[in-house]
Structure 1
Amino acid sequence: MQIARVALDVPLHRFFDYIVPETEALSDSDLGRLVRVPFGQKSRIGIIVVLPQSSDVPVARLKSIEAVLRDIPALPADWFRLSEFCAAYYQAPLGEVMLSTLPAGLRRVAPPKARTSQRFVKPSPPQEPPELTAEQKTALAAIAEDSKGFRAYLLHGVTGSGKTEIYLRLVERSLAAGRQVLMLVPEINLTPQLESRVAARFPSAGLVSLHSELTEAARTRNWRAALEGRARIVLGTRLAIFAPLPDLGLIVVDEEHDASFKQQDGMRYSARDVAVFRARERGIPIVLGSATPSLESWANATDHRTPARYTLLTLHQRAVENSRLPLVQRIDTRPEKLQDGLSAALLLGIEKRLTRGEQSLVFLNRRGYAPVLACTNCGWISHCHRCAANLVLHLLDRRLRCHHCGFESPIPKACPTCGNQDIQPFGRGTQRLESVLAERFPQARILRVDRDSARSRKQWETLVQRIYSGDADILVGTQMLAKGHDFPKLTLVGALGADAALFASDWRAPERLFAQLMQVAGRAGRAELPGEVLIQTQFPDHPLYAALVQHDYAAFADSQLKEREEAGFPPYTFQAMLRAESPHMADALAFLATARAGPQTG
């Protein structure tokens, strides 16, 4: 009698033993094979992890495997090691980790039928590689000299310095060596642009994408193409880090600082950190690229008190000839009465661009019409009923939405507390800003780009195409427009509402603000037209803004790291977060207080 130990998607730190039917005899080559097994009153999909000689459970109590899914190749050994690392480091049941990384279609009891055809990303017309700058050549040479085995490279380049071209040259080298490549981007909205560029450069390589907006069938198909080695380049968001790649030879993490690489639901993990572990485990190079690296990565590359974990490669200049970094100016709003939140300098700058046929971007990282609805009579505020955040007013949809937990409700006709019908929006969101600009510049074509106007990939691609084609004069956008885009006619960026992050309780807020502003500033003047950035602030002398004016990330990062070391914050200490969710705040706080007190003795 043969026994198989199976991992299942259950919140238990254990595996389950099953009898292997005589018709389904297994060997060590079947480790990692998917099986269908009975569990409780239902059937589940599991993964064979061990073929033990015996079981601790009496044989009479063991159930039999219902089917071995032999049409799906067994998962490779390095994928197991990656799952084991994540389960141990992020304190999650191993079975949950293994099964949650599979496409939903393969976790179903009746998985979709295998298809022999594979629709790879449609290539654009082939493109000739551009001439490399001296800095790009130096960076590539540094990687080429030490490309054997594991090495982590931090590619720090100003916006527009040609980091993507370095990625593509490294991809070319890996493909020539018969290896697969994994490229990670922080957001789905960045994949179409990079997809088309990679497909144009490598039209016959077999490029697939992996992200949450793919249909279930498409994700399953692309995942299998990666596992079977037919896809030589995999481009995706954080979930793609778990794609099984038998010939993996290179990992690239673009915009490595981005918080979107962190998974906040289920198993909470950092895809960037998992990528570094995977590269080390496979003995391959990994390139982490950013104009504003995370402070953890910067410390790993620049801390001279210990041997550097990462090799720092720097690009100081933009790659396009005659393209210069934008002029950054601080607009002191203290002595000025703003016009609907807009300074005279910013309004004048927009007007000049309209006259010249250029584009402007007004950046406000707060979607909706207003961040809160309030009663002027009793002080009621639109708090979320499910969490501690406020409900944001979305006037066009006539809804109040929580951008934290997703709860939403209709806009009340009167104050729920006192019945006052004169409830007012306070603050500004992108919808309200769009209305203000439309009234101020009635002749301008205004385009709002946020999560509400671009809820699907198709909507996003339509908006981006309108911007590229010049069918928009003024863009009103959130962080969706802050990175990864080259709009040739965009020459002015105005940043609103940045001061709130300067004194936030989150100790990472300054780092995120600097990255956000530097990234959005980098959208201006990407081509030959000069760019200008206007930051409205009540604290123009703040060191963060001074570093922005100089485009001096290194100075900002070093000062922040010094503060963190003195305060005992990461990366100089370790922190763990314990979260509690409950319909009642008191219950959540009581649980956290008990957990903080620790186990009681006696």
Structure 2
Amino acid sequence: MRVRVPFGRREVMGIVIECRTHSEIALADLKPVSAWLDASPLPDDWLWLCRFTARYYQHALGDTLHQSLPVLLRQGRPLEARTRERWFLTASGRDCPPERLGRARRQAELLALLRLHPRGLTSNIITAQGFSRAQLDALVDRGLIECQQEAVIDGPSPGSGGWLAEPALSLNREQATVLAALHEGLDRYHPCLLQGVTGSGKTEVYLQLIEAVVARGRQALVLVPEIGLTPQTLARFRKRFRVPVVALHSGISDGERLDAWLAATSGRAPIVIGTRSAIFTPLARPGAIIVDEEHDGSYKQQDGLRYHARDLAVVRAHHHAIPVLLGSATPSLESLALAQAGRYRHLHLTRRASRHPPARLELVDLRGRARQGGLIAPTIDAIRKTLTAGHQVLVFINRRGFAPTLACHECGWLAECDRCDARLTLHRQPPQLACHHCERQRPLPDACPDCSSADLRPLGAGTERAEETLAALFPDVAVHRIDRDSTRRKDAFENTLAEVRRGAPCLLVGTQMLAKGHHLPHVTLVVVINADAGLYASDFRALEHSAQLLIQVAGRAGRAEHPGRVMVQTLHSDDPHLRLLAEHGYDALARQLLEERRAADLPPYRFLALARFESPREADVTTLADTAASALRDWLGPNSSPVQCLGPVPAPMERRQNRYHVQLMLSSTQRSKLHEASAWLAAWLESNREARRVRWSLDIDPQTLS
């Protein structure tokens, strides 16, 4: 239960998680609780999940509890659902003739309005029609209307029409087979990996599975990777179901989040949709958990409490003995390995609803060819033909800004950030140099700071440069740029997509924001400006993530009546991994990558933990990391230990935001032994006086080594 307790000169909110009959601290040194904030305990399933998360991810339980509560509950708001007024006609009001109200014309009009709505109207709807509180009070005094308080999010009331607001779509044979397999496990823990090509109808399978869950009087939790996918998912679910569907993500207000959290906790919301933090939402009657695009890196929290929502979804489903469905066109290698080992049931959807097969990747060699904004002549010609045919084109480049950096053509100077080991990105809107790691911004220089030459040129291409080039090449066609810079305004992203879905020929230029789950029925050509960025990165997961991104963005083409085409520009068209992906698809590449991981003793066949150290003083961070590594090796003992301690080494980007970063890796084939070593290291760091001058963190199952 939440309590208010004295803390120094102020009072703070705390959570009592256990009661004991004795204390090792003298009673005179204990302070009394100032006030109990709740009349009933916080949900059991929420507390269990927080305890597990804190233990597994080696994080403080107090901070885990704090982070997993809605903001208003952290601030002491009562654990009560907000209510609103709903107005109804009384028996006298239903029988009241208009002339009885005499000259009170507006009261008569309000009475007539309520007569049209037997289920009543809320106060905000009534005031939106121009009626006042005084008119409501006058009708109450006459005994013609009455008010009832109701929760802002009311419980389900299907009535005679059942749970569905519109009928479910007919399923093809593959979808029906998958749904039948899912129905077999509705009453037990049943982990399934649904691998379906883009456009194969995975969402319809989700909807019909949820229909079965809701019909049993239980709740479904659906996780999506990013806020950008939430509005369209929410709209589709609300259109299908005649029950409350609530959303939980960072784009809603604190009040809306609390309303949704409490509706899920009480069971008034049978369907909960949210991003990664929604995994901590308590459910009164859990029935199923669905993780869409389960491979997506957004499910991993990269700072503070470094949890993975997909993995917690599986753990939570096992705890509640309910099914969990992980869906993706490009499953993570971790999930594929578990499916191969028989831990997950592996289900497949190989056909698109449009009946067109997914477009193959066409590798276009960039070597020795002139470029315009990153595009070469054959690609430009394909774009022109597609637009002439009345279709739309998606140009994908995973770099925002105009160009990755600015360079001097005379001496080779490059614009670099003075706070990070990174180059400044050139932007034209507005004109500036910006670091995408520390957000530092600088005005454009008039001349090279090293040699004073005025011959400064942009190197490479970003979304702004591609947009400018395409606007010049195709002046009669609308060009829509979608990246983090162009979608900062509220609803800008949704409004742009709505305009694109009208179907007029246009060009879409965007980053990976466009690659995930969006249905763009009029796009028939996808152009990837440069596929090489992730091929040779230092992180061992880079190739997996690059392949997933390429397949996902390729899946935006040909989703309706016309077949799609995907052109991938590359300087390494003969790379064996890239050719395998293009010629045989993601499955073939994933199998090869799994064999390489097994041979190299890397995840998913080995478990990792990463200790990160950072400080503005390089000497402090290196000294602490060296001392920690030495102490850990002493504790582990001889080389026969099942845990390896690797490092410390500088992080891939050693200096970021004027802080130096060093890493220490723990590796083991036994998860339990890795956790023992991680727990010892965390305790050692917490008790070490030198560690107070350095910011450190432990990342269990890290998804990136940067």
What is the TM-score of this pair, normalised by structure 2?
A: 0.76
* Equivalent position of 1:18 in the other structure: none
Match of 1:254 among 292, 296, 314: 292
Alpha-carbon offset, residue 54 of structure 1: 2.2
Q: Name which of 266, 272, 277 aligns with 2:310.
A: 272
Quote how far apart the aligned CAs of 1:377 are.
4.9
Shift of 1:66: 2.1
Change in Cα spacing, 1:474 to 1:511, as seen in structure 2 (3 Å) is same
Q: Is 1:544–1:556's contact at 8 Å kept on the other side of the alignment?
A: yes
Report whether the alignment pairs 1:192 with 2:231: yes
Give the AA of the match of 2:230. Answer: T
Q: Which secondary structure state, in structure 2, belongs to the residue aligned with residue 598 of structure 1?
A: helix
8 Å Cα contact 1:447-1:472 kept in structure 2: no
CA distance in 1 between counterparts of 2:264 and 2:548 reads 33
Alignment CA distance shift 1:514-1:48 (3 Å):
same
Which deviates further from its counterpart, 434-443 or 338-347? 338-347
Counterpart position of 2:343: 309
Shift of 1:508: 0.6
Q: Deviations over 1:538-572 (max 9, x none)?
A: 22232333343346222111100011111111111
Which of 181, 186, 192 pairs up with 1:147?
Answer: 186
AA matched with 1:217: G
Cα 1:151–1:547 shift into 2, 3 Å: same
Q: Report the CA distance between 1:480 and its aligned residue.
A: 0.6
Residues 62-101 of structure 1: pairs in structure 2 closer than 5 A: 62-70=30-38, 74-101=41-68
- 8 Å Cα contact 1:446/1:472 also seen in 2: no
Q: Which stretch has the larger CA shift, 213-222 or 553-562?
A: 213-222
Q: Distance in 1 between matches of 2:401 and 2:549?
A: 19
Listed one character per residue, the Cα deviations across residues 304-344 of structure 1 (whole Å, up to 9, x for unaligned) are: xxxx1111001111123x33322431112224333332122
Point out the more displaced range, 138-147 or 151-160: 138-147
Structure 2 residue identity aligned to 1:69: L
Q: Distance in 2 between matches of 1:569 and 1:223?
A: 38
- Per the alignment, residue 485 of structure 1 pairs with 518
- CA distance in 2: counterparts of 1:453 and 1:513, whole angstroms: 24
**Distance in 2, Cα, partners of 1:413 & 1:591:** 43
Map of 1:156-171 to 2, 5 A cutoff? Answer: 156-171=195-210
Match of 2:218 in 1: 179
Instruction: Determine helix, strand or coil for the equivalent of 2:549.
Output: helix
Paired residue type of 1:311? R
Moved more, 34-43 or 473-482: 34-43
1:329 matches 2:362: yes
Q: What secondary structure sits across from 1:593 in the alignment?
A: helix
Distance 1:311 1:185 in 2: 21
More displaced stretch, 414-423 vs 155-164? 414-423
Q: CA deviation at 1:425?
A: 2.4
For 1:407 and 1:112, the matched residues in 2 are separated by 41
Q: 1:421 to 1:60 in 2, by over 3 A?
A: farther
Given the superposition, is the C-alpha separation of residues 491 and 599 from structure 1 closer, same or farther in structure 2, using an over 3 Å criterion? Answer: closer
Conservation of the 8 A alpha-carbon contact between 1:391 and 1:400: yes
Displacement of 1:119 in angstroms is 4.9
DSSP-derived class of the 1:78 partner? helix
- Tell me the SS of whatever aligns to 2:615: coil
Q: 3-state SS of the aligned residue for 1:130?
A: coil
Greater mean deviation of Cα atoms: 287-296 or 409-418: 409-418
Which residue does 1:26 correspond to in 2?
none
> SS of the counterpart of 1:400?
strand
Q: Give 1:479 deviation, angstroms.
A: 0.5
Range 260-269 or range 388-397, more displaced = 388-397
Letter aligned with residue 169 of structure 1 = Q
| Counterpart pick for 1:292 among 322, 327, 330 | 330
Which residue type is aligned with residue 494 of structure 1? V
Q: Is the 8 A contact 2:402 2:425 kept in 1?
A: yes
Instruction: Give 1:442 shift.
Output: 1.3
Identify if the C-alpha distance between structure 1 residues 534 and 77 changes in structure 2 by more than 3 Å, giving closer, same or farther: same
Deviations 1:124-163 (A, max 9, x none): x943321101111111111222332112100000001111
Equivalent residue runs for 1:33-112 within 5 Å = 33-70=1-38, 74-109=41-76
Aligned amino acid, residue 151 of structure 1: H
- Cα distance in 1 for residues equivalent to 2:492 and 2:34: 44
Distance of 2:154 and 2:467 partners within structure 1: 39
Q: Partners of 2:630 and 2:441 in 1: how far apart?
A: 35
Equivalent positions of 1:514-593 (< 5 A) are: 514-550=547-583, 552-585=585-618, 587-593=620-626
Q: Which of these two proteins has the greater Rg computed from alpha carbons?
A: 2
Closer, same or farther in 2 for the Cα pair 1:591/1:471, shift >3 Å?
farther
Say which is worse superposed, 345-354 or 523-532, in terms of deviation: 345-354
SS in 2 for 1:35: strand
By how many angstroms is 1:428 displaced?
A: 1.0
* Mapped partners of 1:162, 1:599: distance in 2: 50
Deviation at 1:76, TM superposition (A): 1.9
Distance between the aligned counterparts of 1:452 and 1:524, measured in 2?
Answer: 24
Contact 1:213 1:457 survives alignment (8 Å): no
Render the CA deviation track for 1:255-307: whole Å, top value 9, x for unaligned: 0000000101111111101111111111111000000000000000013xxxx
Q: Flag the 1:377–1:502 CA change in 2: closer, same or farther, 3 A.
A: same
Residues 4-44 of structure 1, C-alpha deviation per residue, up to 9 Å, x if partnerless?
xxxxxxxxxxxxxxxxxxxxxxxxxxxxx222222122221
C-alpha change, 1:413 and 1:120, in structure 2 (3 Å) is farther
2:123 corresponds to: none
**Secondary structure class of the residue paired with 2:16:** strand
- Once the two structures are superposed, residues 568-596 of structure 1 have per-residue CA deviations (whole angstroms, 9 ceiling, x without a partner) of 11111111112222234554444433333
Contact 1:227 1:246 in 2 (8 A): yes
- Give the alignment partner of residue 320 of structure 2, picking from 260, 274, 282: 282
Corresponding residue for 2:114? none
Q: How does 1:400-415 map to 2 (within 5 A)?
A: 400-415=433-448
Unmatched runs of 5 consecutive residues or more in structure 2? 84-150, 159-163, 636-706
The 1-side partners of 2:77 and 2:289 are apart by: 33
Question: Partner amino acid for 1:546?
Answer: R
Q: Distance in 2 between matches of 1:327 and 1:163?
A: 20
* 8 Å contact kept, 2:404–2:462: yes
Letter of the structure 2 residue corresponding to residue 179 of structure 1 = R
Quick check: 2:80–2:262 contact (8 Å CA) kept in 1? no
Which residue identity lines up with residue 613 of structure 2 in the other structure?
A
1:69-114 per-residue CA deviation (whole Å, 9 max, x = no partner) reads 226x532222222111111111110010011111112112567985
User: In the alignment, is residue 494 of structure 1 matched against residue 527 of structure 2?
Assistant: yes
SS at match of 1:272: helix
Q: Relative to 1, partners in 2 of residues 1:293 and 1:456: Cα closer, same or farther, differing over 3 Å?
A: farther
Aligned mates of 2:287, 2:15 — CA distance in 1? 26
Structure-2 change in CA distance of 1:459 and 1:253 (3 Å)? same
Which amino acid is 1:369 matched to? F
Give me the whole-angstrom Cα distance separating, in 1, the residues matched to 2:24 and 2:558: 68
Tell me which of 388, 398, 403 is aligned to 2:431: 398
Residue 378 of structure 1: how far off its partner (Å): 5.0
Query: Which residue of the other structure, out of 600, 613, 630, is the alignment partner of 1:597?
Result: 630
SS in 2 for 1:575: strand
Change (3 A) 1:114 1:173: closer
- 2:2 touches 2:36 (CA, 8 Å); kept in 1? yes
| Structure 2 equivalent of residue 212 of structure 1 | 250
Q: Which segment is superposed worse, 46-55 or 183-192? A: 46-55
1:446 to 445, 458, 479: 479
8 Å CA contact 1:227–1:245 kept in 2: the answer is: yes
Pair 382,104 (structure 1): closer, same or farther in 2 beyond 3 Å = farther
Q: Is the 8 A contact 1:182 1:233 kept in 2?
A: yes
Aligned to 1:20: none
Q: After superposition, what is the alpha-carbon deviation per residue over 1:48-82, rounded to whole angstroms, capped at 9, x for unaligned? A: 201211222222222222222226x5322222221
TM-score normalised according to structure 1 size: 0.88
Using the alignment, how far apart are the partners of 2:617 and 2:548 within structure 1? 36
CA contact under 8 A between 1:157 and 1:315: conserved in structure 2? yes
Match for 1:149: what amino acid?
Answer: R
